[in-house]
């Protein structure tokens, strides 16, 4: 199991990486036991199918004894928004609020990358997943937290989308591009999703 797997890197990610170079030191994911294999998943996309794949792989890696870091940036952060955030929008500009309205409100509001059918697609996929006994995305997020997967939010993306830490679920870490690269550099598996 040597070698690094890297999927296609969107060109827009390069600029987001530059934008995310803040607060790298606050991420505790760089500490790991010697000998423990590591994997890093950079979650850039907001689509339900891509998020589901990211969490399935991260959970399998964690179940295989790897130390796992998921770094959420750009649209990917919307999956971690709190379903019922506090209604305190005080201090947010009109544009901030507009972003908040237009982006998915939580993992339950994510679109599909294909067969969206004006919102019918995700409902159909979720229904089929229930029928087949596939763990839901929400269960997988909980599972990842229970397995000790480090979920890191890109601070710059949060600001860029007009959101705040309080708009996101508990148990997340805050980090930047440097922390992400540090985790990826020590990883045997690193993927951009």
| Binding interface with other proteins (CB under 8 A) | 1, 35, 37, 56, 59-60, 62-65, 135, 140, 143, 146-147
Q: Which is nearer to other proteins, 15 or 64 (CB)?
A: 64
CA-CA-CA-CA torsion sign (93, 95, 101, 106)? negative
- The size of the chain, in residues, is 193
Q: How far is the CB of 134 from other proteins (least distance, A)?
A: 9
Q: Which is nearer to other proteins, 1 or 118 (CB)?
A: 1
Q: Which is nearer to other proteins, 45 or 140 (CB)?
A: 140
Q: How far is the CB of 63 from other proteins (least distance, A)?
A: 4
Q: How far is the CB of 39 from other proteins (least distance, A)?
A: 11
Q: How far is the CB of 96 from other proteins (least distance, A)?
A: 37
Q: Is 13 exposed, middle or buried (0-12, 13-18, 19+ CB in 10 A)?
A: middle
Q: Which is nearer to other proteins, 3 or 65 (CB)?
A: 65
User: 161 by DSSP, 3-state: which?
Assistant: coil
Residue written as token pair 């009109």: 94
With both helix axes pointing from N to C terminus, report the angle between 11-19 and 177-185 in degrees, rounded to the nearest 10: 120
């Amino acid at each position: 199991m040597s070698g690094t797997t890297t999927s296609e890197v969107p060109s827009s990610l390069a600029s987001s990486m530059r934008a995310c170079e803040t607060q790298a030191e606050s991420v505790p994911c760089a500490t790991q036991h010697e000998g423990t294999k590591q994997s890093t998943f950079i979650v850039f996309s907001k689509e339900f199918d891509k998020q589901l794949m990211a969490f399935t792989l991260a959970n399998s890696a964690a179940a295989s004894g790897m130390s796992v870091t998921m770094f959420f940036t750009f649209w990917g952060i919307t999956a971690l928004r709190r379903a019922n955030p506090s209604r305190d929008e005080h201090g947010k500009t009109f544009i901030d609020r507009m972003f908040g309205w237009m982006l998915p409100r939580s993992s339950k509001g994510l679109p599909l990358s294909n067969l969206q059918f004006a919102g019918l697609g995700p409902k159909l996929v979720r229904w089929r997943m229930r029928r087949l006994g596939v763990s839901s995305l929400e269960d997988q997020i909980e599972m990842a937290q229970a397995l000790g997967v480090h979920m890191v939010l890109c601070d710059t993306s949060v600001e860029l989308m007009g959101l705040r830490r309080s708009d996101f679920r508990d148990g997340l870490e805050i980090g930047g591009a440097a922390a992400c690269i540090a985790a990826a550099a020590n990883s045997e598996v690193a993927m951009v999703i």
